[in-house]
């Protein structure tokens, strides 16, 4: 298979989210490799994607306007429309106090989740006796 890319892609293992239909539809993906001009995404869903969509990568805190370049066996190749200036994710709060409140709330929920898990692990097993 010949290489058609302008740049070599770096292998990655990043969570991604594809947004389309003006944000009304989205699906998770895994960014398997990436360059400044495009990426290869692994998809678990077989949903038909539009030719253009937004790819949000939480770890990079960036959204890339993308076009579908190819599709093969649960993977797709995408080209970034504006490789020089990825746009920030539209759904992230830009107000730092809102972001701080969100981080605090996530921490509270994680602590609550850990407490509930501990309670489940220490709770006596329910007997299977039927009346």
DSSP three-state, residue 22: coil
Pick the CATH number of 10-80 from 1.10.340.30, 2.40.10.220, 1.10.1740.10, 3.10.450.50: 2.40.10.220
Please state the domain extents for the chain: 10-80, 92-122
**80-90 residue pLDDT tens:** 997 544 444 44
**18-77 residue pLDDT tens:** 999 888 889 999 999 999 899 999 998 767 889 999 999 999 999 999 999 999 888 999
Tell me how far apart the alpha carbons of residues 16 and 35 are, in angstroms, rounded to a whole number: 15
Report the predicted TM-score, pTM, of the whole model to 2 decimal places. 0.58
Q: 46: Cβ–Cβ under 8 A, 6 or more apart, which residues?
A: 74
Instruction: Return the structure tokens found at 7.
Output: 């740049």
Count CA within 13 A, CB hemisphere, residue 64: 25
Tell me how far apart the alpha carbons of residues 36 and 79 are, in angstroms, rounded to a whole number: 9
Tell me how far apart the alpha carbons of residues 116 and 78 are, in angstroms, rounded to a whole number: 41
């Amino acid at each position: 298979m010949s290489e058609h890319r302008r740049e070599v892609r770096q292998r990655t293992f990043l969570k991604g989210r594809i947004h389309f239909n003006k944000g009304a539809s989205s699906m998770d993906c895994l960014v398997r490799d990436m360059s400044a001009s495009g990426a290869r995404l692994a998809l678990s869903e077989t949903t038909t994607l539009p030719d253009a969509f937004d790819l949000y990568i939480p770890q990079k805190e960036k959204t890339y306007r993308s076009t579908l370049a190819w599709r093969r066996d649960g993977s797709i190749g995408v080209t970034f429309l504006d490789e020089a200036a990825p746009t920030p994710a539209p759904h992230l709060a830009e107000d730092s106090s809102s972001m701080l409140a969100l981080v605090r709330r996530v921490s509270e929920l994680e602590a609550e989740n850990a407490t509930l898990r501990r309670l489940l692990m220490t709770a006596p097993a329910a007997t299977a006796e039927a009346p």
